[in-house]
Amino acid sequence: MVGMSGKRGNGEGSIYPYKNGFAAYVWVTKPDGKRARKYAYGKTREEVHEKWLNLHAEAKKGPVATRHRTVTAFLTYWLDSVVKPNLAPLTYVSYEGCVRLYIAPHLGPKRLDRLTVRDVREWLTKLATVCQCCAQGKDSKRAPARRKCCAIGECCEAYPSRRVIQAARDALRAALTHAVTEEEISKNVASLVKVPKPRRRRIKPWSVAEASQFLTDAAARDDHLVAAWVLVLCLGLRRGEVLGLTWKSVDFERGELYVDHQIQRAGREILHRETKTEDSDDFLPLPALCLKALRMRRAQQMGDRKAAGELWQGSHDLIFTTKYGTPIEPGNMTRMFALRARRAGLRVIPLRNTRHTCSSLLVALKVHPKVAQRILRHSQIAMTMEVYAEASEEEVRAAIGQLSDAMGGTG
């Protein structure tokens, strides 16, 4: 590398003794176009010479970053330039929350290229013991008169759950996967750390009798969401799918429902967007009870519209709206479900657990097995027939009879 005169060429830099070993530098062009020195260090001259040659090769290829990004700097870039433009809004909200609350406060200042498996393991172990009320100042944000725990020195020990810890690890793993793709680091240290899987609570779904009692109570009280509860319990639709239905989704003549949109809350906005995948979009046959409930809902909404007059704001043509035509908050639907279950004298189950009741309810409603197969999305009719073989009790028939009376006959 050294010329005949013993002098180095311009920009070749040099190797020199440094502390307990050697150091070297090479002049490089940074990504911003400016020239700067890039340093390498090592115990022996040979080791540094090797690194020095690699630096030269790197400098010839193109711009070279002289300073490595911190974890925070990389995560900020990843969220803004990769996640936000390319992934679903809800995914961005979830990742951004994990970065801000759990990753950046602990790992943020570390250099991205020096992050180790041990760093990640120690972070996750520590995270499980950090009270989030203290860390996020939740109690101290309350008015002085309403402070009740951490702000007055009585820690409430609000430790992150296993699910939160897993979500934080998954967010870091997704970010580091991208860092590997962009060749900022050579391996993803977060994917090498195992976290205990969250335990799933098994909740006994409602029986047909309980589901019928719930719907009977809702119909008797002229509940504005009775058709929503019918669709959730009979078709197994998800919360967002039901709230995202428009009147264009219903074909009353053919007795079909097309599911292709959902309502989601993402951060500060409510979104009316397409369902997650094209496989989720489906024409579902509507049993007589569902058609009847939807006709009742149409009449209710017309009444609401008249009563609201100029205050009506329905722009999406949604089936389920507030009294002023605006979309219903997904969280509010969940709360209403719990309130109405209590009102009907039933044990409260999570709204998403109602999908398990759907199959036996279809049997009780005497829905033809071929129709039920399409609603339940069974690939084989044999699966549907198994469900049919299980449910044919007197109690079931009696419960459905009551429901039919409450809705004025299911014809």
Distance, CA of 374 to CA of 112 (rounded, Å): 50
pLDDT at 6: 44
Are 247 and 271 contacting, i.e. CB atoms less than 8 angstroms apart?
A: no
Per-residue pLDDT of the chain (411 residues), as tens digits, is 444 444 454 555 678 888 888 998 888 887 677 888 888 888 888 888 988 888 888 888 877 766 678 899 999 999 999 998 998 888 898 999 999 999 999 999 999 988 999 999 999 999 999 999 998 988 888 898 888 888 888 889 889 999 999 999 999 999 999 988 877 787 899 998 888 887 777 788 888 888 888 998 998 888 889 999 999 888 888 888 889 898 998 999 988 888 877 777 777 767 766 665 444 446 788 888 889 899 999 999 999 889 988 888 876 788 999 888 888 888 899 999 999 999 999 999 888 887 777 777 777 777 777 777 777 777 677 776 766 665 555 556 666 666 777 676 544
Whole-number Cα distances in Å, 33 to 55, 61, 139:
17, 14, 48
- Listed residue (105, 108, 106, 117) closest to 75, CA to CA: 108
Integer Cα distance of 275 and 283 in angstroms: 13
Which residue is associated with the tokens 């609201």?
Answer: 308
Q: Where in the chain are the domains?
A: 14-61, 71-192, 208-406
pLDDT of 234: 84
* 210 C-beta neighbours (distance < 10 Å), count: 19
**Per-residue pLDDT, 257:** 87
Q: Please tell me the distance from the alpha carbon of residue 347 to that of residue 333, in angstroms, as a whole number.
A: 17
Query: What dotted CATH number matches 208-406?
Result: 1.10.443.10
The CA distances from residue 285 to 10, 14, 254, 341, in Å, are 77, 77, 8, 27
Q: What's the rounded Cα separation, in Å, for the pair 140 and 25?
A: 50
Q: Are 328 and 320 in contact (CB under 8 A)?
A: yes
Q: Report pLDDT for 275.
A: 61
What pLDDT sits at residue 28? 84
Q: What is the predicted pLDDT for the residue at 314?
A: 72
Reported pTM: 0.63
Strands 269-274 and 261-266: antiparallel
Q: What is the DSSP letter of 40?
A: E
Rounded Cα–Cα distance for residues 95 and 106 (Å): 16
> In this structure, what token pair is assigned to residue 411?
């014809």
| Cα distance from N-terminal residue to C-terminal residue, the chain | 93
In which order are the strands placed within the sheet that holds 256-259?
A: 250-251, 256-259, 282-285
Please tell me what DSSP assigns to residue 362.
H
Assigned CATH for 71-192 = 1.10.150.130
